[in-house]
Copies of this chain bind each other. A is one copy, B any other.
Amino acid sequence: MLSERRLQVLRAIVQDYVGTEEPVGSKALTERHNLGVSPATVRNDMAALEDEGYIAQPHTSAGRIPTDKGYRLFVDKLAGVKPMTAPERRAIQNFLDGAVDLDDVVARTVRLLAQLTRQVAVVQYPSLTRSTVRHVELLSLAPARLMLVLITDTGRVEQRMVDCPAPFGEAALADLRARLNSRVASRRFTDVPRLVEDLPDAFEADDRGTVSTVLSTLLETLVEENEERLMIGGTANLTRFGHDFPLIIRPVLEALEEHVVLLKLLGEAGDSGMTVRIGHENAYEGLNSTSVVSVGYGSGGEAVAKLGVVGPTRMDYPGTMGAVRAVARYVGQILAES
């Protein structure tokens, strides 16, 4: 177990390195933080910390930098979440309050988060499977072509084309629409499959094919992988990565375009509370030199989706976590209001 002072030394190393981007030496440490001990003592502590794998030196005779394990300890034990100041909170609220619909909320959230943290922001749309149905609509576009529109209580709207096996009359359409809504409105999406499974039985033989097609399209939209969407922003902040960045930045950009990868990443994060994945803790290789800070947000007590940021492992964790948490809170409020 590490002594109290050694933990403080680690904390000081992380803070200085995050600030300066340069390996930090024993002398500089004692000057900038009053640890009450001499550089020689700090050197001993550093040697111990290095033995334990919390810090490393890029080259012999350079200062130390934290390892992923060092950041992990820092986040878990040595640092809290830095709360937003009152003016910052007001700014967040003002920025989000103008949103007119869900797309706008998500877009604004991405911008805001990117700006606050100066990192890449990732915001997931509210998951269908965690929302309730507000309305299901069926439009007839052509004799054998329908459009299915799903609307959730979180304001999300999904539409899908349905090619019917046979023409479908106006009367049957109205019937299906009414029955569908009476069964699923205000119900959770996860219950929908069970609630509609016997619907075709209520229709004439000629129409059952179409009804089944509509229902299977409906169920398809609820399948995970299909239903999750997200928006990213602030990629320009990747340029703040470091000097060596050409090699780092490319896989990160690639990962950011692979929404599936990001969704998986967010999915792996804990369901409640804030999750920080540091460097190699991220399963996806391209993100091995980044950290991902994410948290769920939702209108009530329950999270309907996640949001977060992706940045260099050398990031200001307390500040980033504070911003992410605050934004998630306000987004939740906005969703609850609408």
B257 touches A250 (CB 8 A): no
Digitize A230-266: 1 where CB-to-B-CB distance is under 8 Å, 0 elsewhere.
Answer: 0001111011000001100111011011000000000
Query: Please, which residue of chain B has its CB at the minimum distance from the CB of A100?
Result: B161
A249 touches B239 (CB 8 A): yes
A253 touches B238 (CB 8 A): yes
- Given the complex of chains A and B, what is the CA–CA distance between A137 and B236 in angstroms? 39
- Given the complex of chains A and B, what is the CA–CA distance between A257 and B245 in angstroms? 20
| Chain B CB within 8 A of A139 CB | yes
- Given the complex of chains A and B, what is the CA–CA distance between A254 and B236 in angstroms? 6
- Given the complex of chains A and B, what is the CA–CA distance between A31 and B139 in angstroms? 67
Known contacts A161-B100, A235-B253, A245-B246; is A141 also within 8 Å of B147 by CB?
no
B246 touches A239 (CB 8 A): yes
Q: Choose one: B134, B139, B141, B160; the contact of A141 (CB below 8 Å).
A: B134
A266, chain B: closest CB distance, angstroms = 20
- Given the complex of chains A and B, what is the CA–CA distance between A100 and B235 in angstroms? 29
Contacts of A251 in B (CB 8 A): 236
B253 touches A239 (CB 8 A): yes
Digitize A91-128: 1 where CB-to-B-CB distance is under 8 Å, 0 elsewhere.
Answer: 00000000011000000000000000000000000000
Contacts of A160 in B (CB 8 A): 101
Q: How large is the interface on A (under 10, 10 to 19, 20 to 34, 35 or more residues)?
A: 20 to 34
A233 touches B257 (CB 8 A): yes
Contacts of A151 in B (CB 8 A): 139, 141, 147
Query: Please, which residue of chain B has its CB at the minimum distance from the CB of A246?
Result: B239
| Chain B CB within 8 A of A84 CB | no
Contacts of A101 in B (CB 8 A): 160-161
| Chain B CB within 8 A of A208 CB | no
- Given the complex of chains A and B, what is the CA–CA distance between A189 and B138 in angstroms? 23
A105, chain B: closest CB distance, angstroms = 12
Query: Please, which residue of chain B has its CB at the minimum distance from the CB of A234?
Result: B257
Query: Please, which residue of chain B has its CB at the minimum distance from the CB of A103?
Result: B159
- Given the complex of chains A and B, what is the CA–CA distance between A311 and B319 in angstroms? 36
| Chain B CB within 8 A of A173 CB | no
- Given the complex of chains A and B, what is the CA–CA distance between A256 and B233 in angstroms? 10
Using a CB–CB cutoff of 8 Å, the interface residues on chain A facing chain B are: 100-101, 134-135, 137, 139, 141, 147, 149, 151, 157, 159-161, 233-236, 238-239, 245-246, 249-251, 253-254, 256-257
Q: A139-B151, A235-B235 are in contact. List 17 more A-B contacts (CB 8 A).
A: A100-B161, A101-B161, A134-B141, A135-B139, A135-B141, A137-B137, A137-B139, A147-B157, A157-B159, A233-B257, A234-B257, A235-B253, A236-B251, A236-B254, A239-B250, A239-B253, A245-B246
